[in-house]
Structure 1
Protein backbone atom coordinates (compact mmCIF):
# COMPACT_ATOMS: atom_id res chain seq x y z
CA UNK A 1 0.00 0.00 0.00
CA UNK A 2 2.86 2.39 0.83
CA UNK A 3 4.46 1.75 -2.54
CA UNK A 4 1.19 2.56 -4.36
CA UNK A 5 0.79 5.84 -2.45
CA UNK A 6 4.33 6.98 -3.16
CA UNK A 7 4.04 6.42 -6.89
CA UNK A 8 0.63 8.01 -7.32
CA UNK A 9 1.21 11.17 -5.29
CA UNK A 10 3.66 12.71 -7.82
CA UNK A 11 1.28 11.76 -10.65
CA UNK A 12 -1.69 13.40 -8.92
CA UNK A 13 0.40 16.47 -8.14
CA UNK A 14 1.41 16.70 -11.79
CA UNK A 15 -2.22 16.58 -12.96
CA UNK A 16 -3.24 19.20 -10.40
CA UNK A 17 -0.38 21.45 -11.48
CA UNK A 18 -1.28 20.99 -15.16
CA UNK A 19 -4.93 21.91 -14.55
CA UNK A 20 -3.92 24.93 -12.48
CA UNK A 21 -1.51 26.20 -15.13
CA UNK A 22 -4.08 25.68 -17.89
CA UNK A 23 -6.72 27.60 -15.92
CA UNK A 24 -4.24 30.38 -15.14
CA UNK A 25 -3.20 30.77 -18.77
CA UNK A 26 -6.82 30.94 -19.94
CA UNK A 27 -7.69 33.46 -17.25
CA UNK A 28 -4.68 35.60 -18.10
CA UNK A 29 -5.51 35.46 -21.81
CA UNK A 30 -9.11 36.49 -21.15
CA UNK A 31 -8.09 39.37 -18.89
CA UNK A 32 -5.35 40.41 -21.28
CA UNK A 33 -7.84 40.40 -24.16
CA UNK A 34 -10.32 42.48 -22.19
CA UNK A 35 -7.75 45.07 -21.11
CA UNK A 36 -6.27 45.66 -24.54
CA UNK A 37 -8.78 47.39 -26.80
CA UNK A 38 -8.63 48.19 -30.50
CA UNK A 39 -8.50 51.98 -30.97
CA UNK A 40 -9.94 51.69 -34.48
CA UNK A 41 -12.97 49.73 -33.29
CA UNK A 42 -13.34 52.10 -30.35
CA UNK A 43 -13.37 55.01 -32.80
CA UNK A 44 -16.13 53.36 -34.84
CA UNK A 45 -18.20 52.60 -31.75
CA UNK A 46 -17.89 56.18 -30.49
CA UNK A 47 -18.78 57.58 -33.92
CA UNK A 48 -21.78 55.25 -34.26
CA UNK A 49 -23.26 56.65 -31.07
CA UNK A 50 -24.12 59.77 -33.08
CA UNK A 51 -26.32 57.78 -35.47
CA UNK A 52 -29.96 56.74 -35.04
CA UNK A 53 -29.05 53.05 -35.23
CA UNK A 54 -25.74 52.67 -33.36
CA UNK A 55 -25.87 48.88 -32.99
CA UNK A 56 -26.44 48.36 -36.71
CA UNK A 57 -23.79 50.97 -37.44
CA UNK A 58 -21.12 49.21 -35.41
CA UNK A 59 -22.16 45.77 -36.62
CA UNK A 60 -21.86 46.72 -40.30
CA UNK A 61 -18.73 48.88 -40.04
CA UNK A 62 -16.55 47.27 -37.37
CA UNK A 63 -15.21 44.63 -39.78
CA UNK A 64 -13.60 47.48 -41.74
CA UNK A 65 -11.78 48.83 -38.67
CA UNK A 66 -8.28 48.35 -40.09
CA UNK A 67 -9.05 50.17 -43.33
CA UNK A 68 -10.95 52.96 -41.54
CA UNK A 69 -8.04 53.47 -39.17
CA UNK A 70 -9.75 56.12 -37.02
CA UNK A 71 -10.41 58.38 -40.04
CA UNK A 72 -13.76 60.18 -40.15
CA UNK A 73 -13.51 60.43 -43.92
CA UNK A 74 -12.79 56.73 -44.35
CA UNK A 75 -15.62 55.89 -41.95
CA UNK A 76 -18.14 57.97 -43.93
CA UNK A 77 -16.88 56.45 -47.17
CA UNK A 78 -17.25 52.89 -45.91
CA UNK A 79 -20.72 53.67 -44.54
CA UNK A 80 -21.72 54.93 -47.99
CA UNK A 81 -20.39 51.77 -49.63
CA UNK A 82 -22.32 49.58 -47.18
CA UNK A 83 -25.48 51.58 -47.88
CA UNK A 84 -24.97 51.26 -51.63
CA UNK A 85 -24.52 47.49 -51.38
CA UNK A 86 -27.70 47.32 -49.32
CA UNK A 87 -29.64 49.37 -51.88
CA UNK A 88 -28.48 47.16 -54.76
CA UNK A 89 -29.32 44.00 -52.83
CA UNK A 90 -32.76 45.36 -51.94
CA UNK A 91 -33.49 46.25 -55.55
CA UNK A 92 -32.65 42.69 -56.63
CA UNK A 93 -34.70 41.21 -53.80
CA UNK A 94 -37.78 43.26 -54.67
CA UNK A 95 -37.49 42.26 -58.32
CA UNK A 96 -37.13 38.57 -57.44
CA UNK A 97 -40.13 38.70 -55.12
CA UNK A 98 -42.22 40.30 -57.83
CA UNK A 99 -41.42 37.42 -60.17
CA UNK A 100 -42.37 34.70 -57.67
CA UNK A 101 -45.80 36.06 -56.71
CA UNK A 102 -49.08 36.47 -58.55
CA UNK A 103 -49.42 40.19 -58.03
CA UNK A 104 -52.61 42.16 -58.05
CA UNK A 105 -52.73 45.61 -59.70
CA UNK A 106 -52.05 47.44 -56.42
CA UNK A 107 -49.09 45.23 -55.52
CA UNK A 108 -47.62 45.39 -59.02
CA UNK A 109 -47.85 49.18 -59.01
CA UNK A 110 -46.23 49.49 -55.57
CA UNK A 111 -43.36 47.18 -56.51
CA UNK A 112 -42.80 48.97 -59.82
CA UNK A 113 -42.60 52.30 -58.00
CA UNK A 114 -40.34 50.81 -55.35
CA UNK A 115 -37.88 49.41 -57.88
CA UNK A 116 -37.74 52.80 -59.57
CA UNK A 117 -37.16 54.75 -56.37
CA UNK A 118 -34.53 52.31 -55.08
CA UNK A 119 -32.83 52.61 -58.47
CA UNK A 120 -32.71 56.37 -57.91
CA UNK A 121 -31.20 55.75 -54.47
CA UNK A 122 -28.48 53.60 -56.01
CA UNK A 123 -27.62 56.38 -58.49
CA UNK A 124 -27.52 59.02 -55.74
CA UNK A 125 -25.32 56.92 -53.48
CA UNK A 126 -22.97 56.24 -56.39
CA UNK A 127 -22.72 59.98 -57.09
CA UNK A 128 -21.91 60.56 -53.45
CA UNK A 129 -19.11 58.00 -53.52
CA UNK A 130 -17.57 59.62 -56.59
CA UNK A 131 -17.59 63.00 -54.85
CA UNK A 132 -16.12 61.46 -51.69
CA UNK A 133 -13.00 60.39 -53.59
CA UNK A 134 -11.67 63.94 -53.78
CA UNK A 135 -12.62 66.15 -50.85
CA UNK A 136 -9.40 68.12 -50.59
CA UNK A 137 -9.24 71.77 -51.46
CA UNK A 138 -11.18 74.97 -50.76
CA UNK A 139 -14.42 73.54 -52.18
CA UNK A 140 -14.67 70.92 -49.42
CA UNK A 141 -17.91 72.31 -48.03
CA UNK A 142 -19.51 72.56 -51.47
CA UNK A 143 -18.71 68.92 -52.16
CA UNK A 144 -19.99 67.90 -48.75
CA UNK A 145 -23.20 69.82 -49.44
CA UNK A 146 -23.66 67.86 -52.68
CA UNK A 147 -23.05 64.56 -50.89
CA UNK A 148 -25.49 65.39 -48.10
CA UNK A 149 -28.12 66.36 -50.68
CA UNK A 150 -27.74 63.11 -52.61
CA UNK A 151 -27.71 60.86 -49.55
CA UNK A 152 -30.73 62.68 -48.10
CA UNK A 153 -32.54 62.15 -51.40
CA UNK A 154 -31.61 58.45 -51.35
CA UNK A 155 -33.07 58.12 -47.86
CA UNK A 156 -36.24 59.91 -48.95
CA UNK A 157 -36.63 57.52 -51.88
CA UNK A 158 -36.27 54.51 -49.60
CA UNK A 159 -38.91 55.87 -47.23
CA UNK A 160 -41.18 56.56 -50.21
CA UNK A 161 -40.82 52.93 -51.25
CA UNK A 162 -41.92 51.78 -47.80
CA UNK A 163 -44.95 54.05 -47.87
CA UNK A 164 -46.13 52.33 -51.04
CA UNK A 165 -46.67 49.12 -49.08
CA UNK A 166 -48.87 50.59 -46.36
CA UNK A 167 -52.10 49.56 -48.08
CA UNK A 168 -53.99 46.95 -46.07
CA UNK A 169 -55.27 45.16 -49.18
CA UNK A 170 -51.77 43.90 -50.04
CA UNK A 171 -50.46 40.39 -49.45
CA UNK A 172 -49.11 40.52 -45.90
CA UNK A 173 -46.22 38.09 -46.43
CA UNK A 174 -45.02 39.91 -49.53
CA UNK A 175 -45.37 43.28 -47.84
CA UNK A 176 -43.48 42.06 -44.77
CA UNK A 177 -40.55 40.70 -46.79
CA UNK A 178 -40.17 43.85 -48.86
CA UNK A 179 -40.57 46.21 -45.93
CA UNK A 180 -37.91 44.30 -43.99
CA UNK A 181 -35.40 44.84 -46.80
CA UNK A 182 -36.34 48.50 -47.25
CA UNK A 183 -36.17 49.24 -43.52
CA UNK A 184 -32.68 47.74 -43.35
CA UNK A 185 -31.28 49.77 -46.25
CA UNK A 186 -33.01 52.92 -44.99
CA UNK A 187 -31.33 52.49 -41.62
CA UNK A 188 -27.95 51.95 -43.30
CA UNK A 189 -28.46 55.11 -45.34
CA UNK A 190 -29.56 57.04 -42.26
CA UNK A 191 -26.36 56.00 -40.48
CA UNK A 192 -24.24 56.98 -43.48
CA UNK A 193 -25.97 60.37 -43.59
CA UNK A 194 -25.26 60.96 -39.90
CA UNK A 195 -21.57 60.09 -40.29
CA UNK A 196 -21.26 62.31 -43.36
CA UNK A 197 -22.96 65.15 -41.52
CA UNK A 198 -20.52 64.63 -38.66
CA UNK A 199 -17.63 64.90 -41.09
CA UNK A 200 -19.11 68.02 -42.68
CA UNK A 201 -19.63 69.76 -39.34
CA UNK A 202 -15.91 69.42 -38.62
CA UNK A 203 -15.48 72.24 -41.19
CA UNK A 204 -11.94 71.18 -42.03
CA UNK A 205 -10.93 68.21 -44.15
CA UNK A 206 -8.69 65.81 -42.24
CA UNK A 207 -7.75 62.49 -43.87
Structure 2
Protein backbone atom coordinates (compact mmCIF):
# COMPACT_ATOMS: atom_id res chain seq x y z
CA UNK A 1 0.00 0.00 0.00
CA UNK A 2 2.69 2.44 1.03
CA UNK A 3 4.83 1.38 -1.90
CA UNK A 4 1.99 2.13 -4.30
CA UNK A 5 1.68 5.69 -3.06
CA UNK A 6 5.43 6.23 -3.08
CA UNK A 7 5.43 5.17 -6.72
CA UNK A 8 2.80 7.80 -7.55
CA UNK A 9 4.70 10.44 -5.58
CA UNK A 10 7.93 9.64 -7.40
CA UNK A 11 6.10 9.89 -10.72
CA UNK A 12 4.82 13.31 -9.70
CA UNK A 13 8.27 14.49 -8.69
CA UNK A 14 9.72 13.20 -11.98
CA UNK A 15 7.17 15.25 -13.93
CA UNK A 16 7.99 18.33 -11.89
CA UNK A 17 11.70 17.84 -12.52
CA UNK A 18 11.02 17.47 -16.23
CA UNK A 19 9.06 20.73 -16.22
CA UNK A 20 11.83 22.54 -14.32
CA UNK A 21 14.47 21.23 -16.72
CA UNK A 22 12.35 22.30 -19.69
CA UNK A 23 11.90 25.82 -18.35
CA UNK A 24 15.65 26.13 -17.70
CA UNK A 25 16.46 24.94 -21.20
CA UNK A 26 14.00 27.45 -22.66
CA UNK A 27 15.64 30.23 -20.69
CA UNK A 28 19.05 29.14 -21.93
CA UNK A 29 18.10 29.33 -25.61
CA UNK A 30 15.84 32.37 -25.36
CA UNK A 31 18.45 35.01 -26.31
CA UNK A 32 18.96 33.42 -29.74
CA UNK A 33 15.25 33.03 -30.42
CA UNK A 34 13.56 36.25 -29.32
CA UNK A 35 14.16 39.96 -29.58
CA UNK A 36 14.83 42.22 -26.63
CA UNK A 37 11.92 44.50 -27.54
CA UNK A 38 9.42 41.65 -27.35
CA UNK A 39 10.77 40.29 -24.06
CA UNK A 40 10.74 43.79 -22.60
CA UNK A 41 7.04 44.04 -23.41
CA UNK A 42 6.36 40.78 -21.59
CA UNK A 43 8.46 41.73 -18.58
CA UNK A 44 6.82 45.14 -18.28
CA UNK A 45 3.34 43.62 -18.55
CA UNK A 46 4.13 40.94 -15.98
CA UNK A 47 5.69 43.42 -13.56
CA UNK A 48 2.84 45.90 -13.81
CA UNK A 49 -0.26 43.70 -13.58
CA UNK A 50 0.49 40.23 -12.18
CA UNK A 51 0.95 39.01 -8.62
CA UNK A 52 3.66 36.55 -9.63
CA UNK A 53 5.76 38.50 -12.17
CA UNK A 54 8.79 36.17 -12.15
CA UNK A 55 6.63 33.15 -12.94
CA UNK A 56 4.78 35.20 -15.53
CA UNK A 57 7.97 36.17 -17.32
CA UNK A 58 9.55 32.71 -17.11
CA UNK A 59 6.47 30.97 -18.46
CA UNK A 60 5.85 33.42 -21.32
CA UNK A 61 9.19 34.89 -22.44
CA UNK A 62 10.01 31.93 -24.69
CA UNK A 63 6.94 32.86 -26.76
CA UNK A 64 8.04 36.48 -27.22
CA UNK A 65 8.33 36.34 -31.01
CA UNK A 66 4.78 35.02 -31.21
CA UNK A 67 3.40 37.51 -28.69
CA UNK A 68 5.38 40.52 -29.98
CA UNK A 69 3.72 43.56 -28.35
CA UNK A 70 0.13 42.33 -28.47
CA UNK A 71 -1.82 42.34 -25.18
CA UNK A 72 -4.32 39.91 -26.72
CA UNK A 73 -1.66 37.42 -27.77
CA UNK A 74 -0.02 37.79 -24.36
CA UNK A 75 -3.30 36.94 -22.63
CA UNK A 76 -3.98 34.08 -25.05
CA UNK A 77 -0.51 32.60 -24.51
CA UNK A 78 -0.89 32.86 -20.74
CA UNK A 79 -4.18 30.99 -21.02
CA UNK A 80 -2.59 28.33 -23.22
CA UNK A 81 0.31 27.79 -20.81
CA UNK A 82 -2.11 27.63 -17.88
CA UNK A 83 -4.35 25.13 -19.67
CA UNK A 84 -1.38 22.86 -20.48
CA UNK A 85 -0.17 22.95 -16.88
CA UNK A 86 -3.67 22.26 -15.57
CA UNK A 87 -4.10 19.29 -17.91
CA UNK A 88 -0.79 17.82 -16.73
CA UNK A 89 -1.74 18.37 -13.10
CA UNK A 90 -5.09 16.70 -13.70
CA UNK A 91 -3.36 13.57 -15.01
CA UNK A 92 -1.00 13.41 -12.02
CA UNK A 93 -3.80 13.83 -9.48
CA UNK A 94 -5.95 11.21 -11.22
CA UNK A 95 -3.03 8.79 -10.97
CA UNK A 96 -2.60 9.61 -7.29
CA UNK A 97 -6.29 8.98 -6.66
CA UNK A 98 -5.78 5.35 -7.74
CA UNK A 99 -3.24 4.69 -5.01
CA UNK A 100 -4.17 2.06 -2.42
CA UNK A 101 -2.02 3.70 0.25
CA UNK A 102 -4.25 6.71 0.88
CA UNK A 103 -6.04 7.47 4.13
CA UNK A 104 -9.80 7.91 3.85
CA UNK A 105 -9.70 11.70 4.18
CA UNK A 106 -6.84 11.90 1.69
CA UNK A 107 -8.73 9.78 -0.80
CA UNK A 108 -11.83 11.96 -0.42
CA UNK A 109 -9.83 15.18 -0.81
CA UNK A 110 -8.03 13.91 -3.90
CA UNK A 111 -11.29 12.70 -5.40
CA UNK A 112 -12.71 16.20 -4.98
CA UNK A 113 -9.56 17.65 -6.55
CA UNK A 114 -9.87 15.37 -9.58
CA UNK A 115 -13.34 16.78 -10.24
CA UNK A 116 -12.36 20.38 -9.51
CA UNK A 117 -9.25 20.34 -11.71
CA UNK A 118 -11.26 18.66 -14.46
CA UNK A 119 -13.74 21.53 -14.27
CA UNK A 120 -10.85 24.00 -14.45
CA UNK A 121 -9.58 22.37 -17.65
CA UNK A 122 -13.03 22.81 -19.22
CA UNK A 123 -13.29 26.44 -18.10
CA UNK A 124 -9.83 27.33 -19.38
CA UNK A 125 -10.49 25.61 -22.71
CA UNK A 126 -13.74 27.53 -23.14
CA UNK A 127 -11.92 30.75 -22.26
CA UNK A 128 -9.36 30.18 -25.00
CA UNK A 129 -12.08 29.51 -27.55
CA UNK A 130 -13.94 32.66 -26.49
CA UNK A 131 -10.80 34.80 -26.62
CA UNK A 132 -10.10 33.65 -30.16
CA UNK A 133 -13.46 35.11 -31.28
CA UNK A 134 -13.33 38.41 -29.41
CA UNK A 135 -13.95 41.63 -31.28
CA UNK A 136 -16.61 44.04 -32.39
CA UNK A 137 -19.79 44.75 -30.46
CA UNK A 138 -19.66 41.51 -28.45
CA UNK A 139 -16.26 42.26 -26.89
CA UNK A 140 -17.55 42.98 -23.38
CA UNK A 141 -19.86 39.97 -23.40
CA UNK A 142 -17.05 37.61 -24.35
CA UNK A 143 -14.62 39.28 -21.95
CA UNK A 144 -17.06 38.81 -19.08
CA UNK A 145 -17.43 35.14 -19.98
CA UNK A 146 -13.66 34.65 -19.96
CA UNK A 147 -13.23 36.47 -16.67
CA UNK A 148 -15.98 34.36 -15.10
CA UNK A 149 -14.51 31.07 -16.32
CA UNK A 150 -10.90 31.85 -15.39
CA UNK A 151 -12.02 33.13 -11.99
CA UNK A 152 -13.95 29.88 -11.60
CA UNK A 153 -10.81 27.87 -12.37
CA UNK A 154 -8.93 29.84 -9.73
CA UNK A 155 -11.69 29.18 -7.19
CA UNK A 156 -11.51 25.47 -8.02
CA UNK A 157 -7.79 25.50 -7.22
CA UNK A 158 -8.43 27.15 -3.85
CA UNK A 159 -11.24 24.71 -3.04
CA UNK A 160 -9.00 21.76 -3.87
CA UNK A 161 -6.28 23.00 -1.52
CA UNK A 162 -8.86 23.72 1.21
CA UNK A 163 -9.69 20.01 1.17
CA UNK A 164 -6.30 19.31 2.70
CA UNK A 165 -6.64 21.82 5.55
CA UNK A 166 -5.86 20.73 9.09
CA UNK A 167 -2.93 19.04 10.80
CA UNK A 168 -4.58 15.65 10.41
CA UNK A 169 -3.92 15.87 6.67
CA UNK A 170 -0.23 16.71 7.00
CA UNK A 171 2.02 14.41 5.03
CA UNK A 172 3.46 13.70 1.59
CA UNK A 173 0.06 13.53 -0.13
CA UNK A 174 -0.91 17.01 1.08
CA UNK A 175 2.52 18.43 0.24
CA UNK A 176 2.49 16.98 -3.27
CA UNK A 177 -1.08 17.91 -4.20
CA UNK A 178 -0.96 21.39 -2.76
CA UNK A 179 2.39 22.02 -4.43
CA UNK A 180 0.97 21.04 -7.81
CA UNK A 181 -2.23 23.03 -7.37
CA UNK A 182 -0.43 26.10 -6.08
CA UNK A 183 1.70 26.18 -9.23
CA UNK A 184 -1.39 25.98 -11.42
CA UNK A 185 -3.22 28.57 -9.30
CA UNK A 186 -0.37 31.05 -9.68
CA UNK A 187 -0.38 30.61 -13.46
CA UNK A 188 -4.16 31.04 -13.49
CA UNK A 189 -3.91 34.22 -11.41
CA UNK A 190 -1.38 35.65 -13.84
CA UNK A 191 -3.50 34.73 -16.84
CA UNK A 192 -6.54 36.44 -15.32
CA UNK A 193 -4.52 39.59 -14.63
CA UNK A 194 -3.28 39.71 -18.23
CA UNK A 195 -6.83 39.15 -19.51
CA UNK A 196 -8.10 42.02 -17.36
CA UNK A 197 -5.25 44.19 -18.64
CA UNK A 198 -6.12 43.34 -22.24
CA UNK A 199 -9.71 44.36 -21.57
CA UNK A 200 -8.63 47.65 -20.01
CA UNK A 201 -6.33 48.47 -22.93
CA UNK A 202 -9.07 47.65 -25.43
CA UNK A 203 -11.47 50.06 -23.69
CA UNK A 204 -8.94 52.88 -23.49
CA UNK A 205 -9.63 55.78 -25.92
- TM-score under structure 1 normalisation? 0.79
Aligned match of 2:123: 124
3-state SS of 2:137 partner = coil
Alignment partners' CA distance in 2, 1:65 and 1:161: 32
Partner of 1:164: 163
Map of 1:107 onto structure 2: 106
1:46 aligned to which of 30, 44, 47? 44
Relative to structure 1, is the Cα distance of residues 94 and 179 closer, same or farther in structure 2, using a 3 angstrom cutoff? same
Mapped partners of 1:164, 1:183: distance in 2? 13
Partner Cα distance (2:166, 2:93) in 1: 17
Superposed CA offset, 1:139-195 (max 9, x none): 111111110010000000011001111132225111101111000000000000000
- Given the alignment of the two structures, is residue 69 of structure 1 paired with residue 86 of structure 2, yes or no? no
Name the structure 2 match of 1:96.
Answer: 95
Which consecutive segments of 4 or more residues in structure 1 shift more than 4 A?
A: none
Q: Which position in structure 2 is the counterpart of 1:151? A: 150
Give the aligned partner of residue 193 of structure 2: 194
Is 1:84 equivalent to 2:88 in the alignment?
no
Cα distance between partner residues in 1 of 2:183 and 2:87: 12
Q: In structure 2, what is the Cα distance between the partners aligned to 1:103 and 1:143?
A: 42
CA contact (8 A) 1:141 1:203 kept: no
> Would the alpha carbon gap of residues 189 and 72 (structure 1) be closer, same or farther in structure 2, given more than 3 Å must change?
same
Give how far 1:138 is off: 1.1
The alignment of Structure 1 onto Structure 2 pairs a total of residues equal to 170
Deviation of 1:103 after TM superposition, in Å, equals 1.1
Deviation at 1:59, TM superposition (A): 0.2
Report the RMSD for the aligned CA atoms in angstroms. 1.5
Q: Which runs of 5+ in 1 are unaligned?
A: 1-32
Q: Which is helix-richer, 1 or 2?
A: 2
Taking the aligned partners of 2:169 and 2:158, their CA distance within structure 1 comes to 18
Distance apart, 1:96 and its partner CA: 1.9
The answer to whether the 8 A contact 1:110-1:165 is kept is yes
Q: Give 1:101 deviation, angstroms.
A: 4.9
- What secondary structure sits across from 1:202 in the alignment? helix
